[in-house]
Structure 1
Amino acid sequence: MGLAGAPRPRTASGPARGRGFDRPEQVPAVSRGRGAGAPHTGPGRLLPLVVCVELLGLGLPGWLVLRADGQPKALAGAVAATVVWCGVRAGRGRYALRAPGRPPGALTTPGDWLLLIGLLAVLWTVLDASIDPAAAVVALIPGLLTAAAASWARRLTRSGRRRTERRVLVVGEATGVDRAVGVLTSREDHGYRVVAALPVGAATLSCEAPVPGRLAPAPADDDVSTVLGAAFAHEADLALVVPGPQFAEERLRRLTWGLHDGGLELSVLSHLSETAADRVRPSSAAGLTLLHIVPPLRRGLQPALKATVDRAGAVCGLVALAPLLVLIAAAVRVTSKGPVFHRQIRQGQHNRPFTMWKFRTMVADAEQRKARLAAVNENDGPMFKMRRDPRVTRLGRLLRRSSLDELPQLINVLKGDMSLVGPRPPLPDEVSRYDERELRRLAVKPGLTGLWQVSGRSDLSWQETVSLDLWYVDNWSVATDMGLMARTLRAVTDGRGAY
């Protein structure tokens, strides 16, 4: 009931039971050879040892370093760092065995360590601690090395103990099967390998998965035997069912019974594809299976911490990068006519306009020339992009490829118009053509970087950009922001999609 959306009323005129459902059916059982068993998702026998090693590896050396440096309250500082570190690791799921199909988190162990330093900096600022920041960072380095070694050893032990890849048979209506197969085969950050597809009805599949057979449009006696036979032929150990009008509640329930009796596991594809798994809470009421969706973060500690990190990061960035900003400003002034900065009206959170700052990378009359270039726009949405825009100056191409032209947006972050991480800030004429779905991008502050930048930037289609932004709007967290900022450095160095 909770899988396909609103429940359908139960009536006495439902599909009649076929003879195959009234009595046990002889169907081929699926082989449970090596690697076909269900993945172990419990805490694991090594978990207590891993936690103890990490805590001792951080707390004990930290206390010794702070004490040797003559820092006051060395023991209290080490204990505080240990508690915060344990919270960060547990909150990011580092102490849970990762199930197949669940991609690795945005933060690696070094990313968790950087998050620890940020949280401790905020904590020490609030408490007015007297520990020297430089000594504190040095004291935390052994903890980073210990955690990295423990995580590596745990992954090595886990990978040697069991295989994580699942061989998947996708079952459902043609459109849903095509979508599921396309998404699963387009990425490699999961443990599901599509080996075959079993569509319902006679519709043609556009995906390239093998089709060993088809299910009838209406519930039939041979549903279970057809699915189990296809799974046996392709050595699948998991049936992924895409629910739809032809896969109603009663048919899905009976298929589940038959597949489990035949030794094949089953998963049902949820329609909540753009909702992070951490926000979904399964529950039950009166025999109904419910999926509770945790609301996006809009109030509370995390938004306040995000605002603090934004302002602090903007101040630190402007101070640290001041010499570079001066050099770029001088280069822009010398190499082309026009102002150093390009100020442009953009739409921010809740569709409020603000003035965004960038280093000028185009000729001075670029906005006047834009109308003549509309016919050669390479973007398939309201956003204008050209791979070889003739308005861009020679220095501008270098600044755009390295993303240095966006550094003045730290001023917007400091003013509160933007965030360090968020969706791309759109132009007013773009927003005027948004539909209701696209307008949801404006539910949070736009960002200096975001999922769109670390995923290909201008190489993305418009719908891909919107999907990434909507995922961020609904699923962001401070930890996710930290991970995206860490990945931004690689994206900027690569330069892919920057033009």
Structure 2
Amino acid sequence: MIVNEEQTSTVAARSARWNHLAPTLAAMLTDLLVMSLVTYGAGLGRQRLPFFDEVGDVDNLLRAVGVPLVLGWFAVVALTGAYATHVLGAGTTEYKLILRGTMIGAGVVGVVCYLAKFQFSRGFFFLLILFGVPTLLLGRYLLRRAIHAARRHGHLVHRVVVAGSVAQVDEVARVLSRESWLGYHVVGAVVPATETVETTPGGVQVLGSTARTVAVVVDTDCDVVLFAGGAVSSAQQMRRAAWELADTHVQIMLVPQLTDVASDRVRVRPAAGLQLMELEGPRHQGASRTSKRLFDLTGAGLLLLLASPLLLVTALAVKLHDGGPILFRQQRVGRNGDLFDCFKFRSMVVDADSRIDQVADANKNGDDHVLFKATNDPRITAPGRLIRRFSVDEVPQFLNVLRGEMSLVGPRPPLPGEVERYTDDVRRRLAVRPGMTGLWQVSGRSDLSWEDSVRLDLYYVDNWSLVQDVAILARTIGAVVSSRGAY
């Protein structure tokens, strides 16, 4: 059976629409399920928990307001924009909108009950908010992980044609390939007619010139066209390109000359037909302020207290293994280049430093990276291999945090020898306190290349926020349990 081009185009359009709608529908269903379960659980808790004196008429209350409460909660969250396609799957905006919608809904319920003099169970309301917010956020987080996993396996993927100069095409394609969880698969490129190549240096197939963008879109059945630098030479050409693509099913995206910039640092300001992009300056100064320091002191103090039994067991294991010192002190470089002693449980033999050249020679791979870490280091002791696997060796660094030398979250603390090889750009890592964990750890730790490690650390320095710190700490748990990149 022969399928004509119109039928193929229709199927591609439906597939593209589904890829866009699926995350939104999944988010809606997840939130409705969570809201329903939390509402039922709050009613059950109000009846069964011993610290509530009287059960009252909670059963009848739940029957009367349960469904309207869930639907109203869902509607308020939807009105805040928490189901918009552009906020799902990446960044912290999704979580902020969920929190904002829930708080607005709680305020509305409180005001309505007060004005209507409706007897609403305060215990039920308390449990609803107490468990509703974290459960909703957890549900969205798990959904995000599921969508990312699906995209990495080739599902819910958008077919992308990149328009731009050869250099810009390769830069965009490299980012989209590296961040496969975004779900953008580059099928080819269109470049200016002056650049006569069949394939870019990065391996992207050139499907034609930018003048043939519409024809290429039809031939490839792509659903996204990314206009990067060099695609058009004027605003008039960009407008004409948009007109020509208006009758196709593709989504048009523009790639500004900004990379590794958090979305909440960019604001669009319309001015007489121009879309001006206002870029907020780097936030590394905010990462040194009182709020982050209080967060570090509180978190480190509580975690150190909770980890005290683990500290004792680990200290005994290290000492009993070979009788050497329990702690290993290593000089590291902190904020603004200040030196400090970084504490760790000793995970290597006592004379590890004297054998580093031997291990380095045995693990050469031809790369000229600033970092060195062997995948199978013979200097690691038996208990050291176990505590490294789950990052227990780094627990004493809570003391460095309390002393103000480190932070809970931040760039990796470098060695003085590494800093000597830093370029001016890489030295920006030293603008904030180094961290016990950071984007480098939750993204693969030692499995990362030197370039990716630098990129992640500089992203953190320039785009710091307290919400991001909390998100990184949450992701650290998964990184530690999976042990990916830990050796």
By how many angstroms is 1:426 displaced?
Answer: 0.4
CA contact (8 A) 1:170 1:241 kept: yes
Alignment match of 2:196 (pick from 202, 215, 222): 202
Cα 1:380–1:336 change in 2 (3 A) is farther
- Deviations 1:17-69 (CA, angstroms, capped at 9, x unpaired): xxxxxxxxxxx9x96743556968xx99x89x97x969x94997699589972
Q: How does 1:338-487 map to 2 (within 5 A)?
A: 338-375=324-361, 376-377=363-364, 380-487=368-475
1:69 corresponds to which residue? 51
Kept after mapping to 1: 8 A contact 2:287/2:432: no
In structure 2, give the amino acid aligned to 1:196.
Answer: G
Amino acid paired to 1:353: L
2: CA distance, partners of 1:437 / 1:420: 23
Note the C-alpha offset of 1:103: 3.1
CA 1:489/1:107 → structure 2, altered by over 3 Å: closer, same or farther? farther
Residues 298 and 461 of structure 1, relative CA distance in 2, 3 Å threshold: closer
Aligned to 1:256: 241
How far apart, in 2, do the equivalents of 1:353 and 1:321 lie? 27
Would you say 1:97 and 2:83 are equivalent positions?
yes
Of 109, 130, 139, 1:140 maps to 130
Shift of 1:229: 0.4
Partner SS state of residue 34, structure 1: helix
Contact 2:407 2:435 in 1 (8 A): yes
Structure 1 residues 153-202: Cα deviation after superposition (integer angstroms, max 9, x where no partner): 9xx9xxxxxx9754321111222212222322333322433333223312
3-state SS, counterpart of residue 369 of structure 1: helix
Query: Against the structure 1 CA distance between its residues 384 and 283, is the aligned structure 2 distance closer, same or farther, given a 3 Å change threshold?
Result: same
What SS does the corresponding residue of 2:85 show, helix, strand or coil? coil
* Residues 338-347 or 184-193, more deviating: 184-193
1:393-417 CA-to-partner distances (Å, cap 9, x unmatched) read 2221222111110000010111121
Q: Distance in 2 between matches of 1:99 and 1:252?
A: 28
Q: Distance in 2 between matches of 1:148 and 1:333?
A: 40
The separation in 2 between residues aligned to 1:334 and 1:152, in whole angstroms, is: 41
Aligned positions of 1:50-449 closer than 5 A? 57=39, 64=46, 69=51, 95-99=81-85, 103-105=89-91, 140-141=130-131, 144-145=134-135, 166-200=158-192, 201-203=195-197, 204-207=199-202, 209-215=204-210, 223=211, 226-244=212-230, 247-249=232-234, 252-253=237-238, 255-263=240-248, 265-298=251-284, 303-375=289-361, 376-377=363-364, 380-449=368-437
Aligned length: 414
Residue 251 of structure 1, CA deviation: 7.0
Cα gap change, 1:309/1:179 in structure 2, threshold over 3 Å: closer, same or farther?
same
Taking structure 1 as the reference length, what is the TM-score of the superposition?
A: 0.70
Provide the residue aligned with 2:111 in structure 1. none
1:357–1:412 Cα contact (<8 Å) kept:
yes
Tell me how far apart the structure 2 counterparts of residues 365 and 310 of structure 1 sit (CA, whole Å): 34
Q: Is the 8 A contact 2:214 2:245 kept in 1?
A: no
Percent identity between the two aligned chains: 36
Cα offsets for 1:68-125 (capped at 9, x unmatched): 7269xxxxxxxxxxxxxx9xx98xx98522425963346998xx89xx9xxxxxxxxx
Query: Which residue does the alignment assign to 2:14?
Result: 34
Q: Name the SS of the counterpart of 1:236 in structure 2.
A: coil
SS of the aligned residue for 1:329 comes to helix
1:338-388, CA deviations, whole angstroms, 9 ceiling, x for partnerless residues?
Answer: 311111111112222211100111222222332444444556421221112
Q: 1:236 to 1:455 in 2, by over 3 A?
A: same
Is the 8 Å Cα contact of residues 284 and 461 (structure 2) preserved in structure 1?
A: no
Aligned-residue CA RMSD in angstroms? 4.5
Q: How many angstroms apart in 2 are the aligned matches of 1:474 and 1:351?
A: 18
Q: Deviations over 1:271-300 (max 9, x none)?
A: 212001222111133544321112344567
What are structure 1's unaligned runs of at least 5 residues? 1-27, 72-85, 117-135, 157-162, 216-222
Q: Deviations over 1:434-469 (max 9, x none)?
A: 011111111221111111111111111100100111
Q: 2: CA distance between counterparts of 1:249 and 1:63?
A: 63
Question: Post-superposition shift, 1:391?
Answer: 2.3
Q: Do 2:87 and 2:94's aligned partners in 1 also have CA atoms closer than 8 Å? A: no
Looking at both structures, which has the greater relative contact order when contacts are Cα pairs under 8 Å and sequence separation is at least 6?
Answer: 1
**Structure 1 CA distance, aligned partners of 2:483 and 2:138?**
29
Q: Does 1:496 align with 2:481?
A: no
TM-score of the superposed pair, with normalisation by structure 2: 0.71
Match of 2:107 in 1: none
Counterpart CA distance in 2 for 1:175 and 1:329 is 53
CA contact (8 A) 1:100 1:190 kept: no
Conserved? CA contact 1:459–1:497, under 8 Å: yes
- State the distance in 2 between where 1:407 and 1:322 align: 10
For 1:97 and 1:271, the matched residues in 2 are separated by 28
User: Bigger shift: 328-337 or 204-213?
Assistant: 204-213
1:282–1:289: 8 Å Cα contact kept in structure 2?
A: yes
Distance between the aligned counterparts of 1:292 and 1:258, measured in 2?
27
